[in-house]
Structure 1
Amino acid sequence: MIAIDRRILTHFDFLLLAMILPLVIVSYILIGEVNDRLADKQATYVIVGFISFFLAFLVPIRKLSWSIPFFYWINIALLISVEIFGTTKLGAQRWIEIPFIHFTLQPSELMKPAFILMLAHIIRHTPPPKDGYRFKSFAKISFYILLPFVIILKQPDLGTALVLLLTGYGMLFLIGVHYKIWLGILLAISIASPVLYSSLHDYQRKRITDFLSEKPSYHVQQSIIAIGSGGLAGKAKDEATQAQLKFLPIATSDFIFAYHVERFGFWGAVGLILLYLSLILHLLSLSVMNKNDYFLKVVAISLAMLIFIYAAVNVAMTIGLAPVVGLPLPMFSYGGSSFVTFMVLLGMLENLLAFRFNFMYNFTSFGRGP
């Protein structure tokens, strides 16, 4: 008879999955209303995502923690290989094509779990003192944050590079770094801002210019019209003309929030934002409840930071409060790579939760009982 160790189920966080399911379901409905073919693809991505979640959950992360540096450096090598073997799409060289099967791989997505695990691995072995990390420890951790940032920035992929940078340093802020280091960083950024701006690509500077101009870009204008036309309660599918008549660009991915508000109105927007806020707060609460387990703590905080950055930037750009940078709404926008990445990260977190009391990873734990 097959049995599952009850202790695993006891510490599995079912609430986390319960918060994700409404995002997946509503997203599928909205994508299907705009494009049936994309909805079928999204269903495949969801299936692959949940399979990836299950596989990530089964990996004995704590027992295999010795291999995390290898995993990190393999992904760094993949990022560097993009410069040599990379495939260019939409003016950016971010993908590697696998021979014979014509499947493209985006190493920057694979880098996210490797990046978070590496930071967790380092902080687990050298936890911060009471007054926070000093310069030597901060510089060591910063090396592992800045290395993928610089490589991804050269692809160019400013959005993903900044996401990793903000996730890494946002996590460090909550973990604990001496306040003098943060003051020094703020001063350095303020002095170097003109140089940083001049080093951006032309299209990146244009996005900032469009954002700062009095009149928003065409995409943002149509997004604001869609959001305003939703009113309090939203519109029926056939009356949501901004998306149905193709005025709203990329309604299934970058601007899916605008279409969501057009369909479900102000209250629908509030509900979606509250769902993301609840998910982020729940992840942060896991880090507080397990304050001595730095491995779990870093992964939970980093995942919360990732979701916050993606969601905040995506919503802000649809209403003209941030430049259009192409960051999807987590587990809501159409697309496979981002969804699978988040599901892998959630599976890793569930593993660290369920096995945080050092249960045995053997046949008895998952298979036949005694």
Structure 2
Amino acid sequence: MILLDKRILTHFDYVQPALILPIIFLSYSLINEASDMLSAKMVAYLIIGFGAFLLFFLLPIRKLEWLIPSVYWINIILLLSVELVGVSKLGAQRWIEIPFINFTIQPSEIMKPAFVLMLAYIIKKTPPDDEGYNLKQFIKISFYILLPFVLILKEPDLGTALMLLITGYGVLFIIGVNRKIWISIALLIGICSPILYENLHDYQKKRIADFISEKPSYQVRQSIIAIGNGGITGKSVDEATQTKFKFLPIATSDFIFAYTVERYGFIGGAGLIMLYGFLIVHLLSLNYKLKDEYFIKVAVSAVALLIFIYVSINIFMTIGFAPVVGIPLPFYSYGGSSFITFMCLFGILQNLLTFRFDKTNRFVKINF
């Protein structure tokens, strides 16, 4: 039996669920409206996701901190295994099939919590000085950022790879790196950009070409029509013709923001963006309270950056301001992998924040 000390209630961050739960409820209402089958699956994902949150919230992470490097390297081995024994779907080899039970896992999704924890572990062990990390320290930490980036990029999964890359270096920017290093990196990227473009896959080049062309792709055109159809206050189920008649592609997943605006209008879309905006600002604001607690600061900053990147790219994609990529809206787009991953991340955050004054997690007692 699990006994929880009442003092947990005074340290728990209530702002997070206050902003996340409305996003989840609105998502479920739209998915339930679109498909009974998807709705039933989403219920299963919700149950698993909240179970994952509870598991990581109660896990004594500080006691098990020494295991973080092992977890990171196990995930690296899984990413390497994708290339050797991975399962291909839709032209990409990103999954590993578990024998005998006909179940697949996506190591790139599992890598996200391991990646965040590894960054937090390294930075806690070697915090920056007043002028930020020097070149030697920067290169050492960069190794742990670039290794999963390269392995995921080879699947190919450019979207997830870039998420980890931007998040990793975004965290370093927040924590502190000598500015001369950033200037050098910016110049290097500018010089190497033609080479990077030539090494993209054909489908990735096509997405960029569709993005910069005068005429948007079919998916984006339908998305823009759906957004325009929503007006200020949105349309009823029967009047949301783009979604009802299946003109809007992947309406419950990649283009769910366009579906939201068609149903709830500009007000609904703006409200959803505000919820995400408040969540991101809240998480980043915690850095001012945490001072030199680098482990928690890295975790909070990384999750805030992940949400910002996911939300920005997904919404820009639906209105034609970014190439079409398979980037979901956190807690909102249909799908189990992304939802469960973010529930794990927020379980870790709540654990670190709730028990930050109690390094031994004595607030949680487990009796059998």
Question: What is the TM-score with the length of structure 1 in the denominator?
Answer: 0.97
Which amino acid is 2:211 matched to? F
Change (3 A) 1:2 1:257: closer
Moved more, 33-42 or 188-197: 33-42
Identity %: 65
The aligned counterpart of 1:177 is 177
Structure 1 distance, partners of 2:366, 2:325, is: 46
Q: 1:99-139: CA deviations, max 9, x gaps?
A: 01000000000000010000000000111111111101100
Which amino acid is 2:365 matched to? F
The aligned counterpart of 2:55 is 55
Structure 2 distance, partners of 1:248, 1:275, is: 24
Q: 1:322-359: CA deviations, max 9, x gaps?
A: 00011001110000000000000000010001111125
The aligned counterpart of 2:122 is 122
Q: Please give the root-mean-square deviation of Cα atoms over the aligned residues, in Å.
A: 1.2
Change (3 A) 1:176 1:359: closer
Cα displacement (A) at 1:361: 3.4
Structure 2 distance, partners of 1:340, 1:145, is: 22
Question: What is the TM-score with the length of structure 2 in the denominator?
Answer: 0.98
Alignment map for 1:9-88 (pairs within 5 Å): 9-88=9-88
The aligned counterpart of 1:278 is 278
* Structure 1: unaligned runs, 5 residues or longer: none
Whether the aligned pair in 1 keeps the contact of 2:24 and 2:331 (CA below 8 Å) is yes
Cα displacement (A) at 1:236: 0.7
Alignment map for 1:289-304 (pairs within 5 Å): 289-304=289-304
Structure 2 distance, partners of 1:279, 1:266, is: 20
Moved more, 126-135 or 297-306: 126-135
Q: 1:288-333: CA deviations, max 9, x gaps?
A: 2112110000000000000000000000000000000110011100
Structure 2 distance, partners of 1:171, 1:361, is: 26
Which amino acid is 2:83 matched to? E
Structure 1 segments of 4+ aligned residues over 2 angstroms from their partners: 1-4, 358-362, 364-368
Which amino acid is 2:260 matched to? H
Alignment map for 1:306-317 (pairs within 5 Å): 306-317=306-317
Structure 2 distance, partners of 1:251, 1:55, is: 31
Whether the aligned pair in 1 keeps the contact of 2:255 and 2:318 (CA below 8 Å) is yes
Structure 2 distance, partners of 1:331, 1:365, is: 27
Q: How many residues get paired?
A: 367
Whether the aligned pair in 2 keeps the contact of 1:11 and 1:354 (CA below 8 Å) is yes
Structure 2 distance, partners of 1:190, 1:357, is: 45
Whether the aligned pair in 1 keeps the contact of 2:260 and 2:268 (CA below 8 Å) is yes
Cα displacement (A) at 1:212: 0.3
Q: 1:193-228: CA deviations, max 9, x gaps?
A: 000000000000000000000000000000000001
Cα displacement (A) at 1:365: 3.8
Tell me the secondary structure at the aligned position of residue 366 of structure 1: strand
Change (3 A) 1:199 1:255: same
Q: 1:272-297: CA deviations, max 9, x gaps?
A: 00100000011111122112110000
Cα displacement (A) at 1:17: 1.0
Cα displacement (A) at 1:55: 0.1
Structure 2 distance, partners of 1:190, 1:359, is: 45
The aligned counterpart of 1:244 is 244
Change (3 A) 1:6 1:165: same
Which amino acid is 2:326 matched to? G
Change (3 A) 1:36 1:2: closer
Tell me the secondary structure at the aligned position of residue 128 of structure 2: coil
Cα displacement (A) at 1:367: 5.4
Structure 2 distance, partners of 1:278, 1:304, is: 11
Structure 2 distance, partners of 1:360, 1:166, is: 33
Cα displacement (A) at 1:3: 5.0
Whether the aligned pair in 1 keeps the contact of 2:253 and 2:328 (CA below 8 Å) is yes
Alignment map for 1:216-231 (pairs within 5 Å): 216-231=216-231
Cα displacement (A) at 1:5: 1.3
Q: 1:46-65: CA deviations, max 9, x gaps?
A: 11000000001111111111
The aligned counterpart of 1:196 is 196
Q: 1:69-114: CA deviations, max 9, x gaps?
A: 0000000000000011100000000000000100000000000001
Structure 2 distance, partners of 1:332, 1:108, is: 19
Structure 1 distance, partners of 2:189, 2:3, is: 56
Structure 1 distance, partners of 2:269, 2:24, is: 16
Change (3 A) 1:235 1:61: same
Structure 2 distance, partners of 1:354, 1:134, is: 33
The aligned counterpart of 2:264 is 264
Whether the aligned pair in 2 keeps the contact of 1:28 and 1:42 (CA below 8 Å) is yes
The aligned counterpart of 2:255 is 255
Whether the aligned pair in 1 keeps the contact of 2:62 and 2:360 (CA below 8 Å) is no
The aligned counterpart of 1:89 is 89
Which amino acid is 1:318 matched to? T
Whether the aligned pair in 2 keeps the contact of 1:288 and 1:297 (CA below 8 Å) is no
Structure 2 distance, partners of 1:42, 1:167, is: 28
Cα displacement (A) at 1:6: 2.3
Whether the aligned pair in 1 keeps the contact of 2:62 and 2:359 (CA below 8 Å) is no
Structure 2 distance, partners of 1:359, 1:76, is: 29
The aligned counterpart of 1:111 is 111
User: Is 1:366 equivalent to 2:365 in the alignment?
Assistant: yes
Which amino acid is 2:242 matched to? Q
Moved more, 57-66 or 80-89: 57-66
Structure 1 distance, partners of 2:40, 2:25, is: 13
Cα displacement (A) at 1:366: 2.9
